[in-house]
Chain A
Amino acid sequence: MINLENLCRHFAVGNQVVRALDEVDLVINEKEYVSIMGVSGSGKSTLLNILGLLDTPTSGDYLLSGTNTSKMNDDEMAHIRSTKIGFIFQSFHLIPRLTAAENVEMPMVLSGLNPKERREKVENALARVSLTDRSDHRPEQLSGGQRQRVAIARSVVMEPDVLLADEPTGNLDSSSSKEIIKLIEELNQGGLTLVVVTHDKEMGRRSDRLIELLDGKIINDNQN
């Protein structure tokens, strides 16, 4: 599913070069549930951004379902993000002036799906995260856990192959965190490949595989 070969991501900061990722080799199979952990600055978010085609490597290859993404232009990457990749963010990133249903609908609007189809998929997605009764609520009217559930519904509405989550429980209390962890595990059990960047040890323990990063390199890659 995901294959990183000798991947590097460097940033120029003044006269210095920061090696955010350094010669990373990584294979993630379909339906795997992978946690990525590490101290701050280890390269976790950079790795996730590259997996999500939000960032491009300085060198090396990223093959997604056998396709080398380094040769893709902006529009092709946008299409992949739209159809094959779902994102969940720590701070939810819901649009405050839209309702829950409208937030979930957004990826489909960008893809050009017709309104009838969009309506059906929104209903299914919200039902999947048990928020059908909150579809007309704006984010300010929802709790943290509910907002993250809306974000999850949005991330799966286009039925992606891969779900990338960047600290999905980082802004939640313990009770809400448990709900979200359970929810995304259900998604994984439903067939989604799941890659989670987390500081949450419980989440790390529950995943199929735990990868540890330090200074841009993989220092541990263990099956749980």
Chain B
Amino acid sequence: MLLIATSIGVMAVILLTAVGEGARDYITGEFRDMGTNLLIVIPGKNETSGGGSPIDLAGVAPRDLTVEDAISLRQIEAIKNIAPIVIGETPAQFNGLERTVPIIGTTPSFLAVRKWEMATGNFLPGVTLDRSPPVCVIGKEVESELFGKNKAIGQWLRVGDRRCRVTGIIGTEGRAVGIDAQKVVVMPVSLATALFNRPSLFRIAIEARNTWEMEQIKKDIIKIIKKRHQGKEDITVIRQDSVMKSFDNIFNVLTMALGSIASISLFVAGILIMNVMLVAVSQRQAEIGLLKAIGAKNNQINHLFITEAIILSGSGALLGLVLGHTVTQILKVAFPTFNFLPPLWASFVSLLVALISGVVFGLLPARRAAKLDPVIALSGNK
């Protein structure tokens, strides 16, 4: 029972840290897939004034972030791609069939910035920041629901009160700006702003040429937009790599917290060790008396019982490590997209905590054994 208790404790540490690490790996992987050379420009500025009225703490009322603002950023040479983004939702119709679809209004750069792929066709051909022919690309779910077995490419799709010609089908799965790529209709940004009668962009996504230039690009963006917005810094520029690093740190702390909580169970196992050892001392009194009679010193008796406690907790910990790693391997096979990988420190720390538990909770029984009166112990009286 003691071995099982300790092994469950260690196994819990391994499994929980594997889950935490897997979550961290998944999230950071998603960020890495999107590219770490990404900056996002968001309308509105969040700032604190270090005291003062609540109004001062609220976001500064933003001016519209416009396509023209996006165009103005072309002067920054370190920028590789600029993709202004508008989002909304509206009914899409084809041949009597209708479904409400999420809309992304953008430019062809969006494909590179978001690292999307096309299943067939072209992504917004002929569209630039300045030109917006009525074209669109659709997700596979939109294709199957509105076009069925008919070929979608080349067809005219009614989107809200606008029409656009389907030029491609999106191949990528997953989400961008919170929208499922399989369910979306992507159209030129100017068409979308007109469709929703909304001059302001949702975001501007920017891909830098090089990571080391990102901080300078961020400063340049703020400078240019501030100048265009009458000297008001009413945008927020987020570096994707900073966000990823923040998530990384958060998940690291979360994983450690999970491991620590699981480690509490090892102290419970330690209390079990203490109880078992106290019973052992009681049952082995005659043996302890004999050892003293044949010359064992008090500290030798002490060490004997501490060693037994360490062996018990160590064996349980090793069993727990084997079980924990075996279960994570099984989980990896069952859920291949999620990388269940317990961090190395989890194995060392759980083993160490188990051993320390054994020593700490073995101390009382060991001391009791060492202090036993040999005459009483040998007589069998308690």
Residues of A within 8 A of B (CB): 49, 52, 54-55, 74-75, 78-79, 81-83, 87, 89, 93, 95, 106-107, 110-111, 154, 158
Contact = CB atoms under 8 A, between A and B. Distances in A.
Interface residues of B, number: 17
A87 B292 contact: no
A110 B287 contact: no
A110 B296 contact: yes
A216 to B, nearest CB: 16
A154 B294 contact: yes
B297 interface: yes
Given A82-B295, A110-B294, A54 B300 contact: no
Contacts of A83: 295
A93 B378 CA distance: 8
B222 to A, nearest CB: 76
The majority secondary structure among interface residues of chain A is helix
Closest 8 CB pairs of A and B: A82-B295, A78-B297, A107-B294, A93-B290, A81-B295, A54-B374, A87-B293, A75-B297
Contact of A93 (B286, B298, B299, B300): B286
Contact of A110 (B295, B374, B378): B295
Contact of B293 (A79, A81, A158): A81
B295 A54 contact: no
A75 B295 CA distance: 9
Contacts of B296: 78, 82, 110
Given A78-B297, A89-B378, A110-B300, A54 B290 contact: no
A55 B300 contact: no
Interface in B240-294: 286-287, 289-294
B61 interface: no
Contact of B298 (A49, A75, A81): A75
Contacts of A93: 286, 289-290, 293, 378
A158 B8 CA distance: 46
Contacts of B298: 74-75, 78
B57 interface: no
Contacts, number: 53
The majority secondary structure among interface residues of chain B is helix
A82 B291 CA distance: 10
A107 B295 CA distance: 7
Contact of B292 (A54, A79, A89, A111): A54
A106 B296 CA distance: 10
B375 A49 contact: yes
A54 to B, nearest CB: 5
B287 to A, nearest CB: 6
Contact of A82 (B286, B294, B375): B294
Best-buried of B286, B293, B298, B374 by chain A (most CB within 10 Å): B293
B375 A81 contact: no
Contacts of B299: 75
B292 A78 contact: yes
26 contacts: A54-B374, A54-B378, A55-B375, A74-B297, A75-B297, A75-B299, A78-B292, A78-B297, A78-B298, A79-B297, A87-B293, A87-B294, A89-B290, A89-B293, A89-B378, A93-B286, A93-B289, A95-B287, A106-B294, A107-B294, A110-B294, A110-B295, A110-B296, A110-B297, A111-B295, A154-B294
A52 B293 CA distance: 8
A106 B290 CA distance: 10
B373 to A, nearest CB: 8
Contacts of A106: 291, 294
B262 to A, nearest CB: 35
A159 to B, nearest CB: 13
Contacts of A87: 293-294
Contacts of B295: 78-79, 81-83, 107, 110-111, 158
Interface string B285-318: 0110111111111111000000000000000000
